[in-house]
Amino acid sequence: MKLEILHELNAERAARRPAILVTDTESGEQRLVKAKDFARDPLCTELEKQLRMGKSASVEAGGKKLFLNVYAPTAKLVIVGAVHISQALAPLARSLGYDVTVVDPRTAFASPERFPDIPLVAEWPDTALPPLNVDAYTAFVAVTHDPKIDDPALLHAFERGCFYIGALGSRKTHAKRADRLRAQGAKENDIARIHAPIGLAIGAVSPSEIAVAIMAEITAVLRLPPKEKEEAA
């Protein structure tokens, strides 16, 4: 790899921006395609497919054999609410390779005994969330059922462009939540991004089952193309 390409790649990775290194396997020629340039690249479809899957792969295009080396940031999961569902969700997400953080100002809930080996931030969202560098490779889940905690957290998730935003509650509860968020300046397209009721509709009842439904929905949003996401929902 040329030094110039290496510097560019390191800069993208440091900024948690995905990029794909395209290598002509016969000539050895290489070029780096940054995510912002995917749409106008001749390999657009293949680049987007491999990035969604998070896997490097060999492809053929224009009579050439190419290797697409995918560099994607490690996905994060921020869970707002140290509740029973979170106790099941956090280790499940960890097992799937997510960097997980649990946020809850209620220290009786956010304790190391309840969340062994999971980073905890026992602060209110306004204090806890900015240092976490929530971004487009972050899934964001609000499950406290307390508007004082969930609402400001969701507003932060809107601002940071999380790839997934979910909130616990029935449709009736969510309708009231949406009204509160509008009153605080949230836009309709942001509110529409909230997955509520949270998780895929698999009939989940127990905290562990709900955790599975949530991670399944997060996975679908991360991995599937738009049309298939709609079908999964």
Give the pLDDT confidence of 14-29 residue by residue, as tens digits.
999 999 999 999 999 9
Give the pLDDT confidence of 163-208 residue by residue, as tens digits.
999 999 999 999 999 999 999 999 999 999 999 999 999 999 999 9
- From 166, 155, 170, 173, select the one nearest 198 (Cα to Cα): 166
Q: In degrees to the nearest 10, what's the CA dihedral of 140, 13, 51, 92? A: -40
DSSP string, the chain: --HHHHHHHHHHHHTT--EEEEEETTT--EEEEEGGGGGGSTTHHHHHHHHHHT--EEEEETTEEEEEEEE-PPPEEEEE--SHHHHHHHHHHHHTT-EEEEE-S-TTTS-TTTSTTS-EE-S-HHHHSGGG---TTEEEEE----HHHHHHHHHHHHHHT-SEEEE-S-HHHHHHHHHHHHHTT--HHHHTTEESS-S--S---SHHHHHHHHHHHHHHHHHS-HHHHHHH-
Taking the model in full, what pTM does it have?
0.88
pLDDT confidence of residue 6: 94
pLDDT at 61 over 90: no
pLDDT confidence of residue 41: 94
Average pLDDT of the chain, as a whole number: 93
Domains and CATH numbers, the chain: 3-71 (no CATH), 76-232 (3.40.50.720)
pLDDT confidence of residue 62: 83
